[in-house]
Structures are given as C-alpha cells and as structure tokens.
A and B are shown apart, each in its own frame.
Chain A
Amino acid sequence: MATPGRPLIEVLNLEKDYVTGAGVFQALRGVSLNITEGEFVAIMGASGSGKSTFMNLLGCLDRPSRGSYHLSGQDVSRLSSDQLAALRNREIGFVFQGFNLLPKLTALDNVALPLMYAGMTRDERRRQAQAMLERVGLGERSHHTPLQLSGGQQQRVAIARALATRPRIIFADEPTGNLDTETSRQVMDFFSQLNREEGITLVLVTHEADIAGYAQRRIRFQDGRVVEDVTRAEVAA
C-alpha cells in the first residue's frame, strides 16, 4: 500500500508547542527524518527530551504545531479525526509502558477490542483474538482479566492487541519500562521476531542501551531535536 519508492514515515521540520500556564513550551523544535517499511528503530534520549511527544505525533494521536508528516505517502494533517481513528485502527498498533489494558475486560476481549472498531462480528473477533493470544503464548489465559496476570503477561496481551488488526507499524513507548530483565528480554525477542519474520515496522522508545541494542537504528533526542541517528552497522564500526 505504501507508495513505491517513498518511505513509510516521512517527517519534515516537525514542531510541537505545549501551551501551559507558564507560557509556550517547545517540546519538539524541528525534527526531520524518514523511516522505511520494515525498519526497527529505537528512540533514546534524556527524560523530557520529547520522545513520547514525537511518538504520539507519529501514532496520529496528536497533531503537530508546525511541519509535515506523511504516513504511507499520505499527508496526515489533511485527515479528519475519524480518518485518523481508522488509520490508527488499521495501520498502527500501540504498546505502552503501563500496558493500558481495560481492567474489567478479559484478555480475549481486550485483544478483540480493536477488531470491534474494525467492524468485525463477535465470533470473528473472538477467533482472531484467540489466535493472537496463542501467538504471544497466552492461549490458556484468554479468560483472565489483567489483574489476574503478571506484568510480563499483561504486556504480551497488549502486544497481541496491537497486532490484532495486523497493522504495518507498531509504536512502543518504553514497553519494558515496568518489566524485569528476564521478561524484558522475552518481550524484545518477540518484537525482533515480528520485525524479522513479518516485516512489521517497529518504533520503540527506551532509556536502556541493551534494549536499544535490539534495533537496527538508533535515534537520540535532546531538547526536542534529533542529535544522533545511526544504524547498527555504523555503531559497530
């Protein structure tokens, strides 16, 4: 679906201002970069450097103050909020640090939720959601609610939810931030596998160098600007 020859994500001079009581705060001060389909990108940087702000813009959850963003060759600023919702539903999966599962729903219903907004019937949704849960190794736990699952299991449910509509991109904002080392490793292995075997584009925010080490490309933010953008080959060199 991506326009041939064009990158999946094209960002030019992207800026984001936050208007607060204290005045206008510039969280992003002109970010330009491209991400091609199938890349695995880690975004790093100090706290407050604008990583989450940038991810939210890429994920079409928020709109930039200035600058342009093309996703699959499409100018996102021209889309209505309903079109953005449909885009998030079809093309994008989110994985958050805090999992963001609905606590009253079972794992199965959580994973089936994006499929509901995609207009699938109940039976179809359940079948597909169950298949996704099996892929993340939680086929047996589908009727547990998030509170009955460990942190690592909850994050796997969240990943299954992100994958449910078979999106092309997954945005993960510190997905291992709440997990121990061993669980983090499992989650990252799974992400690598998704990227390698299915060609899903992955953009991941992290503080930890070893987590960033799973990615092929590392982008470093500082005070709302990109200060470093290197591939693994370059790092090794």
Chain B
Amino acid sequence: MIFSSLFETAWHALATHRMRSFLTMLGMVIGVAAVILMMAIGEGAQVMVRESIKSMGSNLFIIMSGASTSGGARVPSGSAPTLTFDDANAISELKDVLAAAPVSSGSAQLIYNGINWSTSVFGTTPDYVVVRDWPMESGGFFNEADVRSGARVVVIGQVVVRELFGGEDPIGKIIRIKQAPFEVIGVLAPKGQSLDGRDQDDIVMVPISSAQQKIHSNAIRNRVRFIMAQAVSEKSMGIAESAITELLRSRHRIGMAQDDDFSVRNLTAIAETAAATTRVMSILLGTIAAISLVVGGIGIMNIMLVSVTERTREIGIRMAIGARRRDVLWQFLIEALTLSLIGCGIGLLLGVGGALLVGNLAGLPVSITPTSVLLAVGVSFLIGVFFGFYPARRAAGLDPIEALRSQ
C-alpha cells in the first residue's frame, strides 16, 4: 500500500469528524502552547538572572553595617552605621582583597534645566567601579584627589542621561543635586537589572566626601552603610571572608562573647542561590506544562479508542477487501499522529504568540529557544505514536468476521 494513501485516508477520517478532531486536538494545542510559553518564561528568567550576575562583578563581598538578621543586615532605625572609611581602607590592605569601596547611599532630587528626576545617589570612591567592573561610556570617573577634596563632580547612569538630557551631551553640564551644583564628568555604561530587580542604570555617583557634606544630610561623618570588597580570586573568597571578619572585629573591639556589629555577605553565593532558584522554577513550569501535554495525549488515545469501537464495521470491510493488519495499524496510527502534529503546530503558534504577548504586555523577560520548540514537536510526535499505538493495535487485531458483523 502506498504511503501517501495512508495520509489521504487519515485526513479524510479526521475531516469527516471535524468537531471531534478539533476537540481532540485541543488537548495537544493547549499542552504544546503551555510547554512553549512556560519554557519561554522559565528560560527568560534564567537569562535575566545570568545577565544580572554577569553585571554584578566577580568575587564580591558586601559588608554591611549592623548585625546580620534573618532578613539581611539592617541598621536598627535611628542607630548610626558602624562601618567607617578607615574600615574600607584597612580591608583593601588585606592580602586576599583586591579593592574595597565604601558607599553611602540615599535618594535625592536632581534638577537640570528645569527638569526634575529623583534617583539614588551613591557617595563612593574610584574603587567602586573597579570592583563592580563597571566601564564608562563617556568621560571619566572621579579620582582619589576628588574624594579628598570633596569635589563637586558627578558621574551619571544611562537612565539619568535619558531623563535629564535627552539627546544632549551631558559632559561638562552642571546639574543640581539637592540644590548643590555638580559638574557631570562621566557617563556610566549600561548595566541593566540587578538580581533584586532594580534598574542599576538609574543612579548617579559622587565622591563620598561630597555626598556626606552636601547630599546625605543625616549622614554621620566618615560612617558608611556598606563597603564593597573584591577578593583577588574565586579561590581566595573563603580566606578573604574570614580575614575581613577578623579585621573588623579587632578594629571594632568586639569581645569574644559579643556579636558582630557588621555582616559580611558573599554576593557570588547569593547569585548562585538566585540562579538555582530560577532553574528550579523553570523546571517546575516545564513539568506542569509537560503534564498537560501528556493529558492531551491521553485525550487522543481516548478518542482513538472510541473511534476504533465506532468504526469496527469499517475495519471489517477494509479487511474483507484486502487490508492487511499492518495497513489498519498504520491507518489509525497515522490518524493519531496527524492529530497530534497538527495540534502541535497550532500549539506552537499559540505558544510563541502567547510568549511574545506576555513579554510585551507583562514586561516579563521571555526567551523562545530552538530547544523548547524541538522538545515540544518531538514530545508530541512521541505522544502521537505512544498513545496512538494501543488503539491502532486494537483495530489491527480485530477478527474480520466479527468486525463485519458488528453494527
């Protein structure tokens, strides 16, 4: 028997039961669409996490003022930060530490040419962009001398450039931060989203001395919220962490029985946790979608079984006029396969459309990979074969006489 005849026969059978074919296919359509959509969302989240990790800088510690709590280190409201500039300098002297930058942060209103923009202002030292591995897009970063003299210079992020300057070149322009005039000397390269979902480009940086004098009015001199430190290598992170802890305990004169008044957190470890979490989420989403695909397959088997029972007489007639068992087997198998593959095709379109829609409307990062498409097509093919085989074998195994006699 010619193969194309099998498809013709299958197509005819499906076309004569249009409603039933459609409903059967619906299971596959939803299953495949769910797989594509869920994998797009899961993969998108993973890509986002990977990129924020990449943008974070490597081998980083964040040392925060205040004892560590379950929710992270926080200074109890009203009490002063415990870390100082000198702490940061001492940390950067450590053998296993490459650099350390103190940061005092807060938000402030910027004004340029009558335009207002509220953003976060970091007071820090040139080491900050070194440890964060944050290049400049144009201009330069302020230097040690600017920090010592408390120069009124500012380096601005991409969002601030866009909001305040539009198309204009910001270098050399004067912006007001909390009324104090600062000269823009550099523009930071884009960084994208951080792990906690903040836009890292919505920022300005000034010398920490200037920030404390002019911007962070409630700041206590020489005290900072946190220090960013970079270990010399990934291997030395453990040693660096204990060295930092030991150094700070002795500098802060903390007795044997007392708790730390600071906390050292390994950002790489946090990033790995975040990556693992999104991986688990993505697997979970994929699994749920895969289950719906299997349910769709069971739907196909169900309908094929009904169809075999209903068409017993037809099978008997076909056998009487010369259909071999394998012709009947192929007929029903190809019917099931056609259903699942057409369902898969429609599901693909819906899934891709849905993913783009979710990406655009909900602003979720989505990423449709060839893997997910291949997986969906492959799995629906297997489901067609797997769930189509049993009903097809039932049909092929019928006795011609009994099949002919059935009504």
Contact = CB atoms under 8 A, between A and B. Distances in A.
Contact of B325 (A82, A100, A119): A82
Nearest to B407: A98
B1 A119 contact: yes
Nearest to A113: B321
A61 B400 contact: yes
Contacts of B313: 100
Contact of B322 (A101, A105, A118): A118
A85 B5 contact: no
Given A61-B320, A100-B313, A121-B2, 9 more contacts: A61-B404, A85-B319, A85-B325, A86-B324, A88-B320, A94-B321, A104-B13, A116-B2, A119-B2
Contact of A104 (B12, B320, B400): B12
B401 interface: yes
B326 interface: yes
A178 interface: no
Given A104-B12, A121-B2, A122-B5, A56 B324 contact: no
Given A61-B401, A122-B8, A100 B317 contact: yes
Q: In terms of DSSP, what is the predominant structure of the interface of chain B?
A: helix
B51 interface: no
Interface residues of B, number: 25
Contacts of A100: 313, 317, 320, 404
A113 B16 CA distance: 17
Nearest to A88: B322
B40 to A, nearest CB: 41
A118 B319 CA distance: 12
Contacts of A61: 319-320, 400-401, 404
A56 B12 CA distance: 30
Contacts, number: 68
A114 interface: yes
Interface residue range, chain A: 20 to 34
Contact of B401 (A56, A85, A86, A117): A56
Contacts of A228: none
A61 B321 CA distance: 10
A97 B99 CA distance: 97
A81 interface: yes
A75 interface: no
Nearest to A125: B5
A165 B322 contact: yes
22 contacts: A56-B401, A61-B400, A62-B400, A82-B326, A85-B322, A88-B320, A88-B322, A94-B320, A100-B317, A100-B320, A102-B314, A104-B12, A104-B13, A113-B318, A116-B5, A117-B1, A117-B321, A117-B322, A119-B2, A121-B2, A161-B321, A165-B322
Interface of A: 56, 59, 61-62, 81-82, 85-86, 88-90, 94, 96, 100-102, 104-105, 113-114, 116-122, 161, 165
- Most B-side CB within 10 Å, residue of A56, A116, A120: A116
A121 B5 CA distance: 8
A107 B339 CA distance: 27
B321 A104 contact: no
